[in-house]
Amino acid sequence: MATESSEGEEEGKITGGIKHLVIEDDLREMGKKAAWSVSSCKPGNGVSSLRDDNLDTYWQSDGAQPHLVNIQFQKKVKLQLVVLYVDFKLDESYTPSKISIRAGDGFHNLKEIKTVELVKPTGWVYLSLSGNDPRETFVNTFMLQIAVLSNHLNGRDTHVRQIKVYGPRPNPFPHQPFQFTSREFVTYSSMRSIQCQIVLRVIDLKQLEIGDHVLDGFR
């Protein structure tokens, strides 16, 4: 399950991280639909480093805390999961130790929805936006803000190497009473739907053929 992301986890605290990014099939990455900005950055270590899929690069802040990452969408979107890559082994005092996640229509009405403490994290850290299972509910928002409130070892500036945000994948079969979460089941359902359409088409053609014969018989 996607939320099982750390070596040890308790309420409001995550220890460690996970080496490989693993996401459920029913979630999709939403970050490419957003405009990203940061409160400050060191030249050469800007916001693009958060989205380049390169774990060797990083965003480095260059200002007073809190350090902010702003993710803004043109329309309301459903978000369930935030995933960060941080590396205490490499970044030490630059590594975030306390993070706040906020949501709202814009900067004017952001509300905190989650605060988490990170304990020497190295790897991907998964932050559910609404409970233990991100599939249960979601946050419907125009904007998400990730605030680094403090760093390990009382560090001033911060390093974050990647950020990804996920929302629910649309149901490919909206008229079904449930949503498939397995690609195999989705493929099977699609094939069955096509087969049914072919059978119905053959029946329609047979009925037309019979109708023509009947009409011919009365000419």
Query: How does residue 89 score in pLDDT terms, banded at 50, 70 and 90?
Result: very high
Query: How does residue 189 score in pLDDT terms, banded at 50, 70 and 90?
Result: low
Query: How does residue 14 score in pLDDT terms, banded at 50, 70 and 90?
Result: very high
User: Which CATH number does the domain 8-168 belong to among 3.10.580.10, 2.60.120.260, 1.10.620.20, 3.30.70.20?
Assistant: 2.60.120.260
- The pLDDT, as a whole number, for residue 1 is 37
Condensed to tens digits (0 to 9), the pLDDT of residues 132-162 reads: 554 557 999 999 999 999 999 999 999 999 9
Residue ranges per structural domain of the chain: 8-168, 171-219
Instruction: Write the DSSP string, 188-199.
Output: HHHHHHHHHHHH
Q: What is the DSSP letter of 93?
A: G
DSSP three-state, residue 202: helix
CB 138 within 8 A of CB 167: yes
C-alpha to C-alpha distance for 86 and 124, rounded to whole angstroms: 7
| Portion of the chain with pLDDT greater than 90, in percent | 68
What is this structure's pTM?
A: 0.74
Tell me the mean pLDDT in the region 200-205: 56
Q: Compute φ and ψ for 84, nearest 5 degrees.
A: -115, 150
- The pLDDT, as a whole number, for residue 188 is 53
Query: How does residue 130 score in pLDDT terms, banded at 50, 70 and 90?
Result: confident
Residue 74 pairs with which residues in a beta bridge? none
Q: What is the DSSP letter of 119?
A: E
- The pLDDT, as a whole number, for residue 131 is 56
